[in-house]
Amino acid sequence: MKTPSALLLLTCYLGFISLGLPDTLLGVAWPFVRHEFALPQTAAAAAFIAMGCAYALSGSAAGRLLASLGTGRLLIVSSAAVTLAVFGFATTPAWILFVLCTIIHGFGSGAIDTGLNDFVSRRFSASHMNWLHACFSLGAAAGPAIMTGAVQNQGAWRMGYFIVGGVLSLLTLLFFLTRAQWTEPASASTPPPVRAPLMQTLAQPAVRWHLLLFFVYAGIESTVGQWSFTLLTESRHLSTALAGGLVTTYWTAIFLGRILSGFLVPRTGSARLVRFGIAGAALASFLLLPSASPVLALLSLLLTGLALAPIFPCLMTLTPERAGAAHSANAIGLQVTAATLGIAVWPSLASLTAQLAGPGALPVLFAGMAILLLALHEIGPVRAKGLRVPGS
């Protein structure tokens, strides 16, 4: 197999940064978007569900799209769609059009996510997978920082979307310039991998177990990231700048944790890092339960981010081994689908919680989700009679 070029590796890193950039903007922008369009807290569910469903459909179809379009062309088209959606957020005059843009965003992001994860899981090591997902977290950390800077100028949330749209335009151009390098050369000694039918992949117990883990994990990561700003400003009454800084710290902790995980995973193994991360996140989530001081809130978000860091990339790394080569691309697409459904469902549940019980009840939801993830991992099919999952 041809070794990926340095430019292609750099493009993968930048691709993951760009994937994270727009995903975390709404969490900081939401109080200002809600005010401008005169919306209740529960209206956020429309954006999360619309994007999540589109993301899920795109992720589940990405295996076929990769086979027909190839990785390079799929990345170009998908990145262009996300760029269009972000500029749409910046210019929309109505909430319904904002929601429509989330659908376009979801379709584009789901394909990018699956395409890059499939490519990286086959051609890079577990360390690179952690570092590449660290780049996602870097983008996710930069998003709230950019939006916090924008909204401090009289709530100018649209400017935050304009800035991110400009960055994504450059990434789309980079995907176009490197399009030929994403094609893996044909070789008699390395025939193309056989792809099993989607339903056969879904029938694998290890795949179904992973889907549950991705559904809950992605829900925790996104819900804490998207709703902490509302919790800290509307319930804990912190300033916009301080709350935005704490949310940025959370995403930065995930970034730094994934950098560290890239060095640890050759020694500990991916499966062990997943277990430690899940247990640590469950413990750290309890620190946010009381009406904590800013210091305790900082500690909770910092530790939660560090604990969550290795889970997603390590589970992705384990997928080809656990699902098998024939099921790998389908399984990764389904995992992206499960993760994005989690991103749709759990933040929407958080919006309902904030509406009915007030933002102060959100930490209870955060802790409950972390405990659920721990339970799913520890009683999963790895320990069921007659089933052994490699790498567990």
HEC sequence for 162-190: HHHHHHHHHHHHHHHHCHHHHCCCCCCCC
Specify the pLDDT at position 91: 96
Amino acid letter at 246? L
Average pLDDT over residues 79-98: 95
Specify the pLDDT at position 231: 92
Q: Is the pLDDT of residue 217 over 90?
A: yes
pLDDT tens digits for range 119-170: 777 777 778 788 888 888 888 888 888 999 998 877 789 999 999 999 999 9
Integer Cα distance of 155 and 267 in angstroms: 47
pLDDT tens digits for range 358-386: 998 999 999 999 999 999 988 865 444 43
Average pLDDT over residues 270-290: 90
Residue matched to tokens 């039918």: 197
Specify the pLDDT at position 155: 73
Would you place residue 389 in the very low, low, confident or very high pLDDT band (cuts 50, 70, 90)? very low
Domains and CATH numbers, the chain: 6-182+196-383 (1.20.1250.20)
Q: Is the pLDDT of residue 101 over 80?
A: yes
Integer Cα distance of 341 and 328 in angstroms: 20
Specify the pLDDT at position 153: 73
Q: What are phi and psi of 15, to 5 degrees?
A: -65, -40
Residue matched to tokens 């025939």: 191
Q: What is the DSSP string of 92-148?
A: -SSHHHHHHHHHHHHHHHHHHHHHHHHHHHHHS-HHHHHHHHHHHHHHHHHHHHHHH
pLDDT tens digits for range 71-85: 788 888 888 999 999
Q: What percentage of residues in the chain have a pLDDT greater than 70?
A: 90
Q: Is the pLDDT of residue 387 over 80?
A: no
Integer Cα distance of 67 and 22 in angstroms: 27
How many residues make up the chain in this entry?
392
Which tokens in the block code for residue 303?
């530790």
- Nearest Cα residue to 244 out of 24, 14, 15: 24
- Nearest Cα residue to 132 out of 307, 243, 11: 11
Average pLDDT over residues 31-41: 92
> Angle 314-228-146 (CA atoms, 0-180°, nearest 5)?
85
Average pLDDT over residues 284-290: 85
H/E run at residue 318: helix 311-323
Residue 368 three-state SS? helix
Contact 27, 228 (CB under 8 A): yes
Count the neighbouring beta carbons within 10 Å of the beta carbon of residue 293.
10
DSSP 232: I
Radius of gyration of the chain measured on its C-alpha atoms: 20
Q: Is the pLDDT of residue 214 over 60?
A: yes
Q: Is the pLDDT of residue 87 over 90?
A: yes
Specify the pLDDT at position 134: 86
Average pLDDT over residues 55-81: 79
Specify the pLDDT at position 80: 93
Integer Cα distance of 273 and 84 in angstroms: 37
Look at 296 and 198; give whichever has higher pLDDT: 296
Specify the pLDDT at position 194: 53
Q: Is the pLDDT of residue 250 over 90?
A: yes
Q: Is the pLDDT of residue 268 over 60?
A: yes
Specify the pLDDT at position 73: 84
Q: Is the pLDDT of residue 64 over 80?
A: no
Contact 274, 314 (CB under 8 A): yes
Integer angstrom CA distances of residue 349 from 23, 48, 55: 18, 10, 18
Would you place residue 63 in the very low, low, confident or very high pLDDT band (cuts 50, 70, 90)? low
